[in-house]
């Protein structure tokens, strides 16, 4: 049988009779609206409710409070820029030509992916390591920096004493503004290294080497990437001289940073580790000192002359890393001079895996150190995972110095230590020796 379904038509379909509607439908009540929980009802707050929330702290303007508020090296950099005249700040902050190398070096640490392990016991983190035959409480040391008391009057003294307190090495530069003997006296229990530029005058170089040994420096770090001075354009534009010249521009700049000038003018004039006084541009000083004729024979002479540990800084290819070890180096520093010499130079962090592989193949126990671009503890941990034995910081330390003298350098090291410990815990490792290349993946673009 076929059933035809007719559509409802309100004009033809009769309304249902009341007797057709079930009684239950007529008598059932409509559902009530949900009750509002008491905790969500509006009310006027009581003072007793507000009192625990009203914890206004007294404003603190001291140097110590300001440094405590710095959570990153970038925070210290911002503080340093506010407190330091443009010329010395730019000398620290800048690099050669278009500053491409420096930018790429920092980006290299950003273009990675950490690969953490889970369910590991990381209740205790040990950041200690050995470098060049002696222990270091942290896997980072202070790199050699020139004209350091120009950045802040405490200069090398603040750096060496902070390193001594932290249990890490400190490296004094040939271009440092404190003598080898004075730095040794300021940090008598520290591990002091000396960085050497081989001069055209070998007798002057030999004098520095003998002074460094007599002062107790156990490591000599020779820098080899400075045949001539790089084109540091910020210094050119600022008219950077040693010591800073009082021009109309610098006087106006000083009016915003009186503390720097007060410290600079009321302390002993700049003296150097390698010469007593100098007046002129930075580039002229460098070009007058550096020897563009250096060869591996000079490295052989240095190895015969220096009886302690010998490190070669400025290595930028795998081949040169292997070659300097063949000529007696106990370690290498993969470095492009912080991007301050050759722009578009190789990036040390990118070079690291190749050097590690080559040294492993050669059965070499030479130390691999790295600098350039490090602005946080995670950068250091990434470098160690990819094969570095140790790292060095230059700008990061100087930002702290400019931000607050010795206390600022201490804060730099505190920030890095906290960063390193947290990164290792999150990676699932409790000591440096547990880091492997499997913990880091280089991202490809």
DSSP state of 218: -
Q: Please tell me the distance from the alpha carbon of residue 409 to that of residue 190, in angstroms, as a whole number.
A: 15
309 bridge partner residues:
219
Residue from 83, 92, 91, 87 nearest 238 by CA: 87
10 Å Cβ neighbour count for 151? 25
Q: 140, 168 in Cβ contact below 8 A?
A: yes
Q: Give the whole-angstrom CA distance, residue 127 versus residue 414.
A: 13
Q: What is the DSSP letter of 199?
A: B
Peptide bond into 243 cis (omega under 30): yes
Give how far Cα 81 sits from Cα of 76, 77, 237, Å: 9, 6, 17
> Left (φ > 0), alpha (ψ -120 to 50) or beta: where does 216 sit?
left
Q: Are 189 and 164 in contact (CB under 8 A)?
A: yes
Tokens (6 digits) for 120: 């590991």
Is residue 350 part of the annotated active site? The answer reads: no
Geometric angle at alpha carbon 145, from 144 and 146, rounded to 5°: 130
Q: Which residue has the tokens 């050497």?
A: 196
User: What are the beta bridge partners of residue 405?
Assistant: none
The DSSP H or E segment spanning 334 is strand 331-334
Catalytic residue among 3, 327, 337, 439: 337
Sign of the torsion formed by the C-alpha atoms of 98, 103, 104 and 105 = positive
Catalytic residue IDs = 337
């Amino acid at each position: 049988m076929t059933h035809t379904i007719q559509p409802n038509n309100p004009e033809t379909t009769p309304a249902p009779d009341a007797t057709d509607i079930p009684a239950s439908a007529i008598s059932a009540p409509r559902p009530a609206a949900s009750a509002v929980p008491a905790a969500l009802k509006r009310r006027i707050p009581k003072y007793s409710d507000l009192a625990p929330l009203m914890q206004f702290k007294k404003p603190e303007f001291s140097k110590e409070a300001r440094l405590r508020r710095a959570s990153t090296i970038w925070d210290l950099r911002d503080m340093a820029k506010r407190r330091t005249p443009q010329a010395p700040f730019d000398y620290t902050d800048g690099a050669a030509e278009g500053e491409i190398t420096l930018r790429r070096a920092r980006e290299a640490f950003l273009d990675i992916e950490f690969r953490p392990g889970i369910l590991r016991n990381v209740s205790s983190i040990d950041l200690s390591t050995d470098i060049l035959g002696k222990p270091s409480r942290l896997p980072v040391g202070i790199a050699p920096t020139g004209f350091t008391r120009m950045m802040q009057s405490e200069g090398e003294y603040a750096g060496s004493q902070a390193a001594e307190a932290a249990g890490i090495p400190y490296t004094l530069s040939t271009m440092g503004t404190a003598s080898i003997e004075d730095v040794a006296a300021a940090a008598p229990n520290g591990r002091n290294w000396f960085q050497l530029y081989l001069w055209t005058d070998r007798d002057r170089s030999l004098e520095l080497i003998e002074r460094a040994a007599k002062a107790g420096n156990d490591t000599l770090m020779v820098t080899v990437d400075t045949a001539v001075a790089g084109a540091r354009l910020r210094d050119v534009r600022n008219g950077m001289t040693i010591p800073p010249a009082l021009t109309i521009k610098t006087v106006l700049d000083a009016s915003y940073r009186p503390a720097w000038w007060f410290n600079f003018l009321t302390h002993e004039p700049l003296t150097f580790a390698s010469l007593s006084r100098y007046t002129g541009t930075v580039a002229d000083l460098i070009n007058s000192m550096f020897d563009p004729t250096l060869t591996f024979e000079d490295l052989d002479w240095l190895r015969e002359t220096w009886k302690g540990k010998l490190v070669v800084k400025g290595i930028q290819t795998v081949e040169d890393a292997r070659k300097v070890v063949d000529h007696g180096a106990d370690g290498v520093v993969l470095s492009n001079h912080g991007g301050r010499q050759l722009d578009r130079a190789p990036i040390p962090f990118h070079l690291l895996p190749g050097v590690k592989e080559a040294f492993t193949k050669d059965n070499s126990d030479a130390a691999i150190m790295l600098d350039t671009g490090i602005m946080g503890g995670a950068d250091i941990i990434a470098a160690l995972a990819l094969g570095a034995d140790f790292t060095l910081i230059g700008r990061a330390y100087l930002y702290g110095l400019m931000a607050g003298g010795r206390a600022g350098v201490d804060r730099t090291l505190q920030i890095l230590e906290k960063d390193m410990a947290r990164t290792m815990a999150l990676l699932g490792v409790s000591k440096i020796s547990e880091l492997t290349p499997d913990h880091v993946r280089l991202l490809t673009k």
